[in-house]
Amino acid sequence: MNKNFSIIRNVENCFFYPGRTWIAEFRQIAGMSGASFQSHLETGYFSRGMDFYKPICSSCQECIPVRLPVAEFKASKSQRKLWRQNGDLEVRLGKPSYSDQHLDLYARYHRNRWGWVSVEAEILRPHFQEHLIVDWGGAWELSYWLDGQMLGFGILDETPSGANSRYFVYEPDLGKSRGLGIYSLMREIEWCQQRQKEYLYLGMYVATSPSMSYKVDFRPFELRVPGEGWVRVQDRKGLASLIANGQRCPKNEF
């Protein structure tokens, strides 16, 4: 990548509301730095590997960035239970790496999580390499192992005062029963706390999306509300006011 560029993309069917047009600005930044990465997160962009994007739909503002002030995080009773339940796992920290084991786990996760039954690992390889495990210099991988088997792995992007939780995949059977998605976020919060980071960015929150509801179970949290900037929220109360159109996402959301 030799230079910065920005384009506008239109998608006729929104991932969350079929029938609506989804419009977003996409950016690629040459010579990515931690400061640049952080600036994009703070100003409402979402990360997809080396790409950043920001929805700019004129009639809908429901794709809201969410972040956690990690020093103030207080685990709930159920989160503390998951922490104890997964105490037998080995957590490994390293730089993002490609292996057939990673790709196969990524494919199994997507077939189970999103119903992509016909999608083979080789078809997903380009997206996997370009967006998931790419290391711009500040990326880290946390993987979770039991008796020599990798049950899940996630990618973090480190910035000067925070980190971005880019993506996490897990073994469909064991990972789900162990609540590995929640456990991995607790480990990422711990990673940030140990390095005295201020925020862990969790990407997008859509209030009507069932698959994103877990993000506001980590409290307190902050939402970047259109017209208001980052707003501290202590619990789920008041979230209804952020739902502009009051309709629930269909179950086949992307």
Q: Region 120-129: what's the mean pLDDT?
A: 83
Q: Token pair of 139, please?
A: 């990326």
Which two three-digit tokens encode residue 111? 């077939």
* Four-residue CA torsion sign, 93, 98, 104, 106: positive
- Provide the whole-model pTM: 0.91
| Section 207-220 average pLDDT | 92
**Token digits for 223?**
């939402």
Domains of the chain by range and CATH?
Answer: 5-242 (3.40.630.30)
The confidence score (pLDDT) of residue 238 equals: 59
H/E stretch holding 239 reads: none
In this prediction, residue 101 has a pLDDT band, given cuts at 50, 70 and 90, of very high
When pLDDT is cut at 50, 70 and 90, the band that residue 123 belongs to is: confident
Neighbours of 244 (CB within 10 A): 13
Cα separation of the two ends of the chain: 28
Sheet holding 162-170: strands in order across? 90-94, 139-146, 149-159, 162-170, 199-205, 64-69, 221-225, 229-233
Amino acid symbol at 72: E
Give the list of residues 6+ apart from residue 161 with CB closer than 8 angstroms, or none.
38, 197, 198, 199
Mean of all residue pLDDT scores within the chain? 88
Residue 243 has pLDDT above 80, yes or no: no
Question: What's the pLDDT at 190?
Answer: 98
For 143, the 3-state DSSP assignment is strand
Is it the case that residue 249 has pLDDT exceeding 60? no
Q: Please give the average per-residue pLDDT across 98-119, as a whole number.
A: 82
Specify the amino acid at residue 74: K
Burial label, 194 (beta-carbon count in 10 A; 0-12, 13-18, 19+): exposed
Q: What is the pLDDT of residues 133-181, one digit of tens each?
A: 989 999 999 999 999 999 999 999 999 999 999 999 999 989 989 999 9
* pLDDT given for residue 88 in this prediction: 98
Q: Specify the 3-state DSSP secondary structure of 227.
A: coil
For residues 113-136, give the mean pLDDT.
78
Give the mean pLDDT of 73-96: 97
pLDDT of residue 115: 67
Tokens 């080789």 correspond to 122
pLDDT of residue 241: 56
pLDDT (tens digit, 9 = 90+) per residue, 195-213? 999 999 999 999 888 889 9
Q: Given this model, what pLDDT does residue 50 score?
A: 81
* CA-only gyration radius of the chain, Å: 18
Q: Which residue has the higher pLDDT, 253 or 140?
A: 140
How much is the pLDDT for 13?
87
Q: What is the pLDDT of residue 248?
A: 38
Q: What is the model's pLDDT at position 49?
A: 80
